[in-house]
Chains A and B, each alone.
Chain A
């Protein structure tokens, strides 16, 4: 398959995002209160973000060195626009899903059973949909690069 510079860049970004946040969510109980302190939970998240940034920098540098970097043209921008639209729907869904999560966590606290639910539920839901939006954006771009606009 003959991939363009943009496609190579997007593939790397998407695989890195899936890998790193796959690891994060696999090791982070979203619903259950695992007793992790706030700093412990923050440590997981910061580790994931730092790892993703490092992988992205190395990969994008390798791609730029191996294949000549190309400036985005009107087609790239149009495809990106369609991709952002799909990502927006997912992010909006995440924002809506996080709202009841805040209420649910509050209810558990009021019932005196905060140990049964993760206090970070709303944050994890938002983060999940943010990552899903990023993946959807990349997948949409790759789809339109192959199929055409």
Chain B
């Protein structure tokens, strides 16, 4: 991959040194393996997201970085140094907790200054730094309040300010926006990104919300059962998932099982009497065999008349219509009996919609619209 200097992608540079590296890390609790022989490098200034269902080991990875858990096997390095024997209080890593973990007996300012008071910093410097952090999260007027006198969003900002106050090399965020409502969460996502960009601190976020990961992260690691399935940029993960698990976890997807043949373009046969489909090999090397076509709903067009000039067109019947305001998702039963989702942006008013339940429709997509997966 060629990189211009304007694009932030240290992971693609051969000589870049990672800030954090997990080197074949395994963590087991009794018989349960939470993290399984996992290796990954995270670079300075990254906003790295660990994404996965609960129990996939993402929180354990974060807790090992913070120092609350020790790897059973393997090593974690921060700036080249092995972290194993450093207690949490000695690590240049701070964490923002899911519950925020604000100290209820301390004021907002004292919460933020808590970590600074335990460093070598002088009193005037602590005061100045606290002021600065309060300003960063726009809570200057709330310095004297106690946590229970704040709203959820304000508490979240205090927790962020507190964890950033010591200028950690790495900030860990454990489901930081989980407790906020959707509007506030989206707004806060942008705030987080702005803060991360302006400070240049490396952020690592744990989340099970794929939209959140897509929005904030420079790279996403999709995890399952203690392993990282794929690490890539949000766009890459969405457009080129390496297997069905990733494709299914990020966004909506139609997965069509088929047998592929061909060299330049894959010809997909789905079964006897069914129309074969065409797809580009994409990043896969050509080769005959069973595979899956992942097709995002927004890349499938719905039309009443037979479409012209596309590589794939299938006839089907509308089973369900999910209207969500800006989008409409059609659930269409195709020749094989499978339900395929197709999404349209609602540019016109609802009343003008020409397709309704039970209507026969055409689904069409280009051969480059989907992605082929062997796993």
A and B held together in a complex: no
